[in-house]
Amino acid sequence: MLLTIDIGNTRIKVAVFEHNKQLEYFIFDSEEALKNFENIFKKYSQLEKIILSSVGKLDENVLNYIKSKVSIDIVSHQSKFPFKNLYATPETLGIDRMVLAAGATLQFPNQNRLVIDAGTCITYDYINAKDEYLGGAISPGLSIRYKSLNNYTSKLPLLTLNDDFEIIGDSTKSAIHSGVINGVIFEIEGFISQYSLKNQDLTIILTGGDADFLAKRLKNTIFANSNFLLESLNLLSLYFNKND
């Protein structure tokens, strides 16, 4: 039984796996981490291993508590990955992007893959059919775009994601929703179009906190899975075990 932990910029996501099957999923703020991990370990006393990736900060006491419970793999740039990293500055490549690239490589072998992670930022990561990671792009996510309009203007209100929007905004609020949401949709579709021109056989994976919201609005055929990073950690742990 494996515990996968994703320490993100804003929240902590956790899943329990057994024989490649996800048993349960948790999400919580870092302030509640210790209490939640105590409950998880109490419920799943048969846990045999942990794999953890982090782009955020985890309290040292919480990390020490986790380490005291069971063997742990903390994913780093020195870890073994199932792809060749051709990024010009590999030491600056986010661990979350590397884990997603690993998951795409392992789950979709012998294919060109584009992983789109729609979270705090929107990241695009391309791994070709030869299992070479070539890079991608980073842009502001939906929440950052809403906050930027409020922060950098004197009169525009701070809004949050809303299902009810039109292409032509007939008020300031609806115009903001149209600009932010349609802007992201057009951006993603534009990236997919450009990558597809160079790759006839392209597998597109959409993940992240806003994946489900965006998947319903994208025209392109995609594999949408908001928990792909946790599943990728599970696959990466199996890869580590086989390549020790």
The string of DSSP codes covering 163-215 is: S---SS-SSHHHHHHIIIIIHHHHHHHHHHHHHHHH-SSEEEEEESTTHHHHH
**244 contacts: CB under 8 Å, gap ≥ 6:** none
Among 49, 74, 99, the domain boundary falls at 74
Q: Is residue 96 flagged as an active site residue?
A: yes
**Looking at the domain assignment, is residue 109 inside a domain?**
yes
**Contact status, residue 239 vs residue 106, Cβ threshold 8 Å:** yes
Indicate the pLDDT class of residue 164, thresholds 50, 70 and 90: confident
Specify whether the CB–CB gap between 133 and 115 falls below 8 A.
no
Q: What is the CATH number of the domain that holds 19?
A: 3.30.420.40
Note down the domain range covering 181.
84-234
Confidence category of residue 230, pLDDT binned at 50, 70, 90: very high
Q: How far is CA 171 from CA 39, 150, 161, in A?
A: 47, 16, 16
In this prediction, residue 46 carries a pLDDT of 93
* Same structural domain, 210 and 160: yes
* 242 in any annotated domain: no
- Last residue within a domain, chosen from 55, 74, 93: 74
Mean pLDDT for the stretch of residues 9-38: 92
Domain identity same for 207 and 126: yes
Please indicate, yes or no, whether residues 58 and 88 belong to a single structural domain of this protein. Answer: no
Q: Which residue has the higher pLDDT, 238 or 244?
A: 238
Domain count of the fold of the chain = 2
Rounded-to-integer distance, Cα 24 and Cα 171, Å: 42
Residues 6+ apart with CB under 8 A from 75: 51, 52, 53, 95, 98, 99, 233, 236
Catalytic pick from 6, 73, 96, 164? 96
Q: Considering the domain boundaries, does residue 182 fall inside one? A: yes
% residues pLDDT > 70 (the chain): 100
Residue 59 pLDDT:
86
With respect to residue 243, please indicate whether it lies within any of the assigned structural domains. no
pTM of the model: 0.94
Confidence check: pLDDT of 220 > 80:
no
Rounded-to-integer distance, Cα 100 and Cα 116, Å: 9
Calpha distance 111→128 (Å, rounded): 7
Q: What's the pLDDT score for residue 91? A: 95
Q: 3-state DSSP call for residue 142?
A: helix
pLDDT of 233 reads: 97
